[in-house]
Structure 1
Amino acid sequence: MGRNIVVCCDGTSNDVTGDSTNVLRLFRSLIRSDQQLTYYDPGVGTVSDPTANVMFSKWLSRNMDMGMGFSIRKNVCNVYGFLARYYRPGDDIYLFGFSRGAYIARAVAGMIHFLGLIRPEQTGIEPHAWSLYANDDSKLTDKDRFQSAHRFRATFSLKERPNIHFIGAWDTVSSFGWFWNLRTLPYTSDNPSIANVYHAVAIDERRAMFQPNRFRPSVSNHDSFEEVWFAGGHGDVGGGWPEPVSGLSKITLQWMCDAAFTKGLLIESKLLDRFLGKTQSNDNKYVPASCLAPVNSALQGIWWLIEFLPRRQWDHKAKRQRWVRPHLARRRRIAEDAIIHPSVYEKIRADITYNPVGLPPSIGMTRNQS
């Protein structure tokens, strides 16, 4: 019988020392046993460059990493190496992530699809695998890259490419690199090696550097696929705000855990219920899920400055980078066929201050609807 191998990749500037994200809440709720191995990867921007020996240099390194996602290479290689060391044929791989951590999870899945998973005795060549996957040598043609990938798989990888059993993503942010030349990675939007995909997306996030990266499957490759929009900003969907104002993030935590549990994830229900504020005790410091919880905004300080800068982004139709005008805190675009979670409609009815103008008219509603 195969095991579960569960990887949890936290979000930008998130780790175990700050306010809990849903990734950390989930990780703390996992059962750890011979049948389920777990791994936690701290968020992008949590660790400064160890070679920076001056306080200002360390601060600059950490904050550049947080804003632009420079260390995604390190995080992807760490997770890929962990899977190479512990995966055995027949195991089910679960990848969870928030923000750029969600993109890291999707990039790991993409690298496995492109290159396979290296054999355990080959750990140490993860940076070479990354360079080939990310096309660091931009002079290579697509034909050259695929030929190189074939040679890599034949030389270093397991004979059978692992399938990713489950990806659970909270509000994936896709960008890494400089804001004027943001990069994307292959098979992060469409990956036939993933069996089950669940993606929670924030309706109310408006920052330019936190634009959502939706899944775009070209055919029905997945056993199950759900991409659902929830009320709130980036941190309201993925967590990371102080506990007293985190009621919206508990809605998405419950949704994700329910989905993963039905697909075989082993969860300690008493611990999860505690984080969800369901246990009744005098010392319970955790708030429950609530559509009446506030929408928190991080659009302030340097984030406002970035709104006025032009940037490049990937054009999915043209399949190339293009310059776009300053973002100016525009609302996210929500497609006509988007799935809106029922809690959004509950919030519209119950909270007179909530007005998600980004909802298309065809799927919107009035406050009087019941």
Structure 2
Amino acid sequence: MSYRGPAKNPLIVLSDGVWTGREANSESNVQRLASLVWGESGLPRDDDFAHLHPTGKAHYVNSVPVGSTFMESSSHVIHGLNVQDIEHQCIDTYEYLVHGYTPQETEIWMFGVSKGAFIVRSVAGMINNCGIVKPVYSLNGDVDVDKTHRLCQQVYRIYQCPSEANTPKSEQSRIFRRKHSWALIGDGDVVESPIRFMGIFDSVGERGIPEFAGAVGADWPKLHNQHVSSVVSEVYHAVSLHDRLYAYQPCLISRDTEYGPSYGITERWFPGTHYDICRQSFKIVRGVLPQRLESLLPAWAWSSKTIQPNEVLSDLVFKWMLECIDTHDPSGLVIPKNTLYRELDGLKHSILEGRNTGDGDVYDHILQFAPFGRYFDLVLSTAFGNWQDNQLYKMLFACRPRLVPEFNASVYNYRGPDPNLDGKIIQKLANLPSSSTTPEKQPETRYPSTSYDGWLLRR
């Protein structure tokens, strides 16, 4: 895709997803990655929206406030979180790059999980449209922060605009880049992509991220452009094989270039649900009663149980992503080599122990994780039979197996021995079923998705 010269200083963007934070006692794979980038001091554990590395080399962004729940952050129907939230995060991330990027000295590394993957892909789209604008300077030679911010806002609006005049290859876009931005491939003699590496965990948004659009109702805004352009050199995408939530369809990646649809793209399907791949834990309902009062009530009666990811599968995916980083960061500028190799050894040991295998796919009995959930489930089933057929429930929790579209897709064989794990089998370590069965045939199946068997059958 582009010539790569000597290693440059990395400018690292880390955009987190939902269902992470202190209250759930969880950290996503991107948050763990940020901790490795931060080093010995570690990523701050407060609830601030964003954190800047002490040297300025990295920028970590929380996607949803720590106090949010599954019902708030997954459906976005209850509190309407989405459009303004996404716009704010895209502009904030892009503005960080504007203040830190120079093509001679820096290269961009992007990481995103879940909704955070949606954010970094959108920012890459903004760069494809408008390039990376240069900071605006005032007459005294200082950066005019306000004008620079407003210019970044304009970049986002140009990216979102459907007009042909604002497409990346339009004359108007070329003029904008010549006037305001560092040159991109195709704008002159540039031979390097500004984004060296994009690593994402289960990018969702094939139907868009669900949102509540006021009086209009539920809407599904998509990525403005689902292709990854030449502004990104290498893409690594870990995709969930076992997730069934229809609202979280994967947004797969391809290129729209003469090099071919998969040039520089490594997309691999891993066993586990969306929250396994991303390493996210969450509660269905939180904050109905004061926290102190809730803590005094019997756990079996009131408390909303935290849904836990399968740590074996989370570790498997995280190990793969670190190995990909290692391949493209020979100098250890993103993560020091001793830190990275120590983490890889720890991940392998943790996988082989196979201790924390989480709750599996909970979508068919998700109410049981709510306060008094088992009792509500029993009452509803007694009164209405299969109450899950309710239209509102289906809108929020409709399930169907994902489709692996390509016969030759890279799909991790979790039923066979892995030579990189001393010949052990992930199916056994992670407590996965030996074959996929529908919930109707075997209600207690931990992972009822039939995606893997369907893919094997079609090959």
1:167-186 equivalence runs, <5 A:
167-174=198-205, 175-176=208-209, 178=211, 180-186=218-224
Residue 16 (structure 2) aligns with = 10
Residue 62 (structure 2) aligns with = 42
Q: Which residue of 326, 329, 348 corresponds with 2:399?
A: 329
- Structure 2 unmatched ranges of 5 or more: 1-6, 40-52, 137-146, 186-192, 213-217, 282-306, 371-387, 417-424, 437-449
Name the aligned partner's letter for residue 220 of structure 1.
Answer: G
1:112-261 equivalence runs, <5 A:
112-121=127-136, 123-124=148-149, 125-135=151-161, 141-143=163-165, 145=167, 146-160=170-184, 163-174=194-205, 175-176=208-209, 178=211, 180-218=218-256, 219-220=259-260, 224-241=264-281, 245-261=310-326
Residue 359 (structure 1) aligns with = 452
Describe the shift of the 1:159–1:340 C-alpha distance in structure 2 as closer, same or farther (beyond 3 A). closer
Name the aligned partner's letter for residue 209 of structure 2.
Answer: F
1:73-105 deviations in whole A, cap 9, x for unaligned?
111111100000011113121100000101111
CA contact (8 A) 2:254 2:265 kept: no
Describe the shift of the 1:352–1:147 C-alpha distance in structure 2 as closer, same or farther (beyond 3 A). closer
1:13 to partner: Cα distance: 3.9
Of stretches 178-187 and 256-265 in structure 1, the one that deviates more from structure 2 is 178-187
CA contact (8 A) 1:84 1:118 kept: yes
- Determine helix, strand or coil for the equivalent of 1:39: strand
CA contact (8 A) 1:248 1:291 kept: no
Name the aligned partner's letter for residue 97 of structure 1.
Answer: G
CA contact (8 A) 1:97 1:170 kept: yes
CA contact (8 A) 2:269 2:411 kept: yes
Q: Give me the whole-angstrom Cα distance separating, in 1, the residues matched to 2:340 and 2:393.
A: 37
Q: Give me the whole-angstrom Cα distance separating, in 2, the residues matched to 1:115 and 1:193.
A: 11
Q: Give me the whole-angstrom Cα distance separating, in 2, the residues matched to 1:298 and 1:152.
A: 49
Q: Give me the whole-angstrom Cα distance separating, in 1, the residues matched to 2:341 and 2:354.
A: 18
CA contact (8 A) 2:254 2:262 kept: no
Describe the shift of the 1:224–1:216 C-alpha distance in structure 2 as closer, same or farther (beyond 3 A). closer
Matched-pair identity in %: 21
CA contact (8 A) 2:404 2:455 kept: no
Describe the shift of the 1:308–1:116 C-alpha distance in structure 2 as closer, same or farther (beyond 3 A). same
- Determine helix, strand or coil for the equivalent of 2:277: helix
1:213-248 deviations in whole A, cap 9, x for unaligned?
000224437763210001100111111238884221
Describe the shift of the 1:133–1:252 C-alpha distance in structure 2 as closer, same or farther (beyond 3 A). same
Residue 46 (structure 2) aligns with = none
Question: Alpha carbon RMSD of aligned pairs, Å?
Answer: 3.8
Describe the shift of the 1:144–1:164 C-alpha distance in structure 2 as closer, same or farther (beyond 3 A). closer
Of stretches 101-110 and 122-131 in structure 1, the one that deviates more from structure 2 is 122-131
1:278 to partner: Cα distance: 1.8
Q: Give me the whole-angstrom Cα distance separating, in 2, the residues matched to 1:47 and 1:148.
A: 43
Q: Which residue of 76, 95, 99 corresponds with 2:90?
A: 76
- Structure 1 unmatched ranges of 5 or more: 49-56, 281-285, 310-325, 366-370
Q: How many residues align?
A: 329
1:271 to partner: Cα distance: 5.1
- Determine helix, strand or coil for the equivalent of 1:152: helix
1:191 to partner: Cα distance: 1.6
